[in-house]
Amino acid sequence: MTSAPIVPGPVTVRVPAKVNLELLVGPRRDDGYHSLSSVYQALSLYDDVTVGEADEWGVSVSGTLAEGVPTDDDNIALRAARLVADRYDGEPVHVSIRKGIPVAGGMAGGSADAAATLVALDHLWDLGLDREELEEMAAELGSDVPFLVAGGTAMGSGRGEMLAPVLTRGTFHWVLALAEGGLSTPAVYAECDRLREGTDVPEPVATPALMAALRTGDPHELAPQLVNDLQDAAISLRPDLGEVLSDGMEFGALGGVVSGSGPTIAFLVEGTEAGIDLAVALTASGAVRDVRRASGPVHGAHVIHHRVD
């Protein structure tokens, strides 16, 4: 008697968003990138990415936040799939993305989908990739992609892709204020360069006080350490963000910072109760498009379902 061949069914990977607790932007390098010192934290706001074998390459996107995500070769998840296929002789796949991470919000949603696709294909094709191989392909796809594979809390240097884990204690609670529209990351960097023209910009180095605050697990210690060198540029392009920041602080946040290149603003709060209160107040103010609560650190891209028929 012959048994039916085992067909690897689609793999679903859950991947978090990130917030930058500290984003220090150094001088513009010759290759056009800026040297960065970034302390990332992975937050419990997720995209679910399902990758399965298909007759042709494709990508589809669902969820209330799906608007603005390309469904052609511009989608970074599809680029990730093709990269792995080129290296390991893979056949076409279809990538289905359920968006829970705001698009163009400074929370690395696209990078997250790329990270999830790498992890999904590692399982689907049973590649047995080690951490180094995954991180190397991730870095090729984008500066934030390696962190979304790793998760937790980490320090990134170079373009942000050279990672070192950071020791933290406990769980931090966040309220994310989502703004109308998005901000283009290159436009925010260009505005940052314009605002700093003529000033001497030092090489960025992570702040020891931030590391110490993370080790205490105390949000009161962490709040004053939140910093983002792109914040002035984001507010210069979107002055309404300055108002949302001051509203959030007035409504009881311990600290607030523009996430990455914006326009999402991340507010640190004392705990779950305080998070609910702030979310209600921000929603009632009408100054934001939507509000989400999240906590961190959480794990990076991880398989949540693998059907084998």
Given the complex with ligand ATP, which of 65 and 253 has the nearer CB atom?
A: 65
Given the complex with ligand ATP, which of 110 and 256 has the nearer CB atom?
A: 110
Applying CB under 6 A, among 37, 41, 157, 185 the residue interacting with ligand ATP is 185
- Min CB(200)–ligand ATP separation in Å: 26
Applying CB under 6 A, among 22, 113, 161, 229 the residue interacting with ligand ATP is 113
Q: Does 144 bind ligand ATP (CB under 6 A)?
A: yes
Residue 110 to residues 184, 217, 303, Cα–Cα distance (Å): 13, 29, 18
Count the residues in the chain. Answer: 309
The alpha carbon of 139 is separated from its chain's Cα centroid by a whole number of angstroms, namely: 14
Consult the annotation and say whether 110 binds a ligand.
yes
Q: Does 69 bind ligand ATP (CB under 6 A)?
A: yes
Dihedral, 135, 34, 213, 169 alpha carbons, nearest 10: -10
Active site residue 99: no
Beta carbons of 265 and 259 less than 8 angstroms apart: yes
At how many degrees (to 10) do helices 109-124 and 76-88 cross?
Answer: 30
Q: Does 148 bind ligand ATP (CB under 6 A)?
A: no
Applying CB under 6 A, among 9, 28, 103, 193 the residue interacting with ligand ATP is 103
On the 0-12 / 13-18 / 19+ scale of CB atoms within 10 A, 64 is exposed
- Min CB(145)–ligand ATP separation in Å: 9
Active site residue 277: no
User: Which amino acid does the sequence have at 46?
Assistant: Y
Q: Does 75 bind ligand ATP (CB under 6 A)?
A: yes
Sign of the CA dihedral 19, 296, 99, 156? positive
Instruction: With CB under 6 A as the rule, give the number of residues binding ligand ATP.
Output: 23
Which of the 8 DSSP states describes residue 90? P
- Choose, from 47, 144, 229, 247, the residue flagged as catalytic: 144
> Binding site for ATP: what residues are annotated?
102-112
Footprint of ligand ATP on this chain (CB under 6 A)?
68-70, 74-77, 97, 103-111, 113, 144, 182, 185, 260-261
Q: Looking at the annotation, which residues are catalytic?
A: 18, 144
